[in-house]
Amino acid sequence: DTGVSQDPRHKITKRGQNVTFRCDPISEHNRLYWYRQTLGQGPEFLTYFQNEAQLEKSRLLSDRFSAERPKGSFSTLEIQRTEQGDSAMYLCASSLGRRGPYGYTFGSGTRLTVV
Amino acid sequence: AQTVTQSQPEMSVQEAETVTLSCTYDTSENNYYLFWYKQPPSRQMILVIRQEAYKQQNATENRFSVNFQKAAKSFSLKISDSQLGDTAMYFCAFVDTGANSKLTFGKGITLSVRP
């Protein structure tokens, strides 16, 4: 297992288009998180899955955003009708969910630019 | 809601010197974890050091150590013998031991190590 993989690394899209990002977590990790990071800021929580169940969504996640994690493996994050304000780095992280050391592993992120 | 504050946007240190990065947080929780993450330019976020709130002893990982003051809600990172490879953004982060274990990040600090 080589860690958390995110695809694509970079995405440039025109305003109004739909985009989809993929995250492949570490295989034995049952928890998966999506964060958004704008330039010069810390990551902000978007949503969280335990196995295939989406257990929490931030109010940052407008109706144009949807995330799935079918079968509790990889996850996708879709943004519909993109806006310039959606330009950011989208980070995925996974962890083995239990009360304990909270060993999160982050992916390298998908950098989205909306033009 | 938890908040994490990093008030220093940038710091610079000479190679081989020691530098301290500051972080304060606010929470009503009693059981939680604190982290320092490193994000090199265009690279993924990696864990530097982790502190469990119920442990009074400050965590240490090689050249990295923390000064955890629970009553003051302060969590600073000391980097000894700074190396050029330490140049990166550093984020302080918090997680409580609740169900969703989502991380709350500070805004980060850009550390530059000068040769």
Count CB atoms within 10 A of the CB of residue A53.
9
Interchain contact, B108 vs A99, CB within 8 Å: no
- Amino acid B80: pLDDT: 98
Beta-bridged to residue B68, according to DSSP, are B75
pLDDT digits (tens, 9 = 90+) for B71-90: 999 999 999 999 999 999 99
Confidence of residue A97 (pLDDT cuts 50, 70, 90): low
Beta-bridged to residue B36, according to DSSP, are B49, B92
Query: CA–CA separation, A12 vs A100, rounded Å?
Result: 39
Q: Which residues contact B46 (CB under 8 A, 6 or more apart)?
A: A106, B37, B38, B39
Average pLDDT for B29-50: 91
A14: tokens are 């025109």
Confidence of residue A21 (pLDDT cuts 50, 70, 90): very high
- Amino acid A103: pLDDT: 77
pLDDT at B10 over 90: yes
- Amino acid A9: pLDDT: 95
Residue of A95, A107, A108 with shortest CB distance to B101: A95
B74: tokens are 């302060």
User: Which residue, among B44, B98, B36, B111, has the nearest Cα to B68 in the 3D structure?
Assistant: B36
Share of chain A above pLDDT 70, in %: 94
User: Which residue, among B92, B91, B79, has the nearest Cα to B27 in the 3D structure?
Assistant: B92
Interchain contact, A55 vs B47, CB within 8 Å: no
Token pair 């008030």: residue: B7
pLDDT at A101 over 80: no
pLDDT digits (tens, 9 = 90+) for A59-89: 888 899 999 999 889 999 999 999 999 999 9
Average pLDDT, chain A: 91
